[in-house]
Amino acid sequence: MKEIIRIQISKFLSNELVEQIAQKQWHTTNPAFVNRSRQYVFDEITDGNDCFGVVALAAENKVIGRLHCVRNKDNIKKWYYGDLFVIPEYRRMGIATQMIEKAKNHLSEIGAQSLCCYVEPDNVASRQLQISVGFTERPFCSFNDFINDGEIMYELQIVNNFCIIPATVDEAYFVRILFVQNKEKLNVGNIDMNEWKEILTEESKDTKHFLICKGAIPIAYIRIEKAEETDNTKISMFFVADGFDYEEIYNYGNDFANNYVW
């Protein structure tokens, strides 16, 4: 039977996992090495930054691989990953790729835009790995307080995972909740659930209603209208769920509106 490998994301690793990482990566449980994994997280959170780890586990929570991701202090949309390892007996099984993909998916969910890493020029296997998972070699630029010791920088753009679906009466619940969150900023009167159902039921050749989703989850409403006697489109109403990047989502919706075919 094929062995089951679990890939998990965690910021606050258990003491057991931290000790395992030290043993697997540096072949010792000396406190100085165990504390390295603690310090990776400790330094970031005490400095007001963010980070997370990706850990690969075999049966009985046996650590077989790990990588660590750190957010850029100057641009929260940019992230770095490093400290990647997979123990010898589990190499060439795609585990490093799975861990990187797990990190990419998580970064997409939290709104990151790019991920970079640094590789020693003679580490051919790592350079091939970066290319295989979508990284591109870039001119070196610093990240936080990292020092360039001659490494090559690789970077990839994080897929935002947005899509657009029609907003019909069946989606009135989502539109209403998003509207309530934004009502004061919109400076419009109240539109209750029944009114939204009527609005979304009405058929018009010149007005269309849509929801912008992240994955399958609605995060913004956009109403577009066709200008009189032209094929030009304008956004006549737009609002975004709390906690999301308004400008990024508006630009996505605006591109959709500009290219909408009536």
Domain extent, residue 115, equals: 6-157
- Kindly tell me if the per-residue pLDDT of 208 is higher than 90: yes
Where among 122, 141, 157 does a domain terminate?
Answer: 157
Neighbours of 121 (CB within 10 A): 9
Dihedral angle computed from the Cα positions of residues 202, 193, 209 and 216, in that order, rounded to the nearest 10 degrees: -130
Note whether 145 and 25 are same-domain residues.
yes
* pLDDT tens-digit series, residues 83-139: 999 999 999 999 999 999 999 999 999 999 999 999 999 999 999 999 999 999 999
Q: Could you give the C-alpha distances from 4 to 59, 60, 133, 222, in angstroms and in order?
A: 7, 11, 22, 43
Q: What's the pLDDT score for residue 28?
A: 95
Note whether 27 and 140 are same-domain residues.
yes
Mean pLDDT of the 14-18 span: 95
Mean pLDDT of the 153-177 span: 97
Tell me the sheet residues that pair with 137: 154
- Kindly tell me if the per-residue pLDDT of 62 is higher than 90: yes
Note whether 75 and 182 are same-domain residues.
no
- Rounded to the nearest 10 degrees, the angle between the axes of helix 95-109 and helix 124-132 is 50
- Kindly tell me if the per-residue pLDDT of 203 is higher than 90: no
Q: What's the pLDDT score for residue 134?
A: 97
How many domains does the chain fold into? 2
Tokens read off for 82: 């490093």
Note whether 197 and 233 are same-domain residues.
yes
When the pLDDT of each residue in the chain is averaged and rounded to a whole number, the result is 94
CATH number reported for the structural domain that contains residue 12 in this entry: 3.40.630.30
Note whether 142 and 193 are same-domain residues.
no
Q: What's the pLDDT score for residue 231?
A: 73
168 residue type, one letter: T
Where among 157, 187, 220 does a domain terminate?
Answer: 157
Where among 131, 157, 183 does a domain terminate?
Answer: 157
Q: What share of the chain has pLDDT > 70, as a percent?
A: 99
Q: What's the pLDDT score for residue 1?
A: 62
Mean pLDDT of the 37-65 span: 95
Place of tokens 């490494």: 151
- Kindly tell me if the per-residue pLDDT of 197 is higher than 90: yes
Q: Could you tell me the pTM of the whole model?
A: 0.85
Give residue 50's pLDDT band: very low, low, confident or very high (50, 70, 90).
Answer: very high
Give residue 18's pLDDT band: very low, low, confident or very high (50, 70, 90).
Answer: very high
Give residue 228's pLDDT band: very low, low, confident or very high (50, 70, 90).
Answer: confident
Q: What share of the chain has pLDDT > 90, as a percent?
A: 88
Q: What's the pLDDT score for residue 84?
A: 97
- Kindly tell me if the per-residue pLDDT of 176 is higher than 90: yes
Note whether 45 and 110 are same-domain residues.
yes
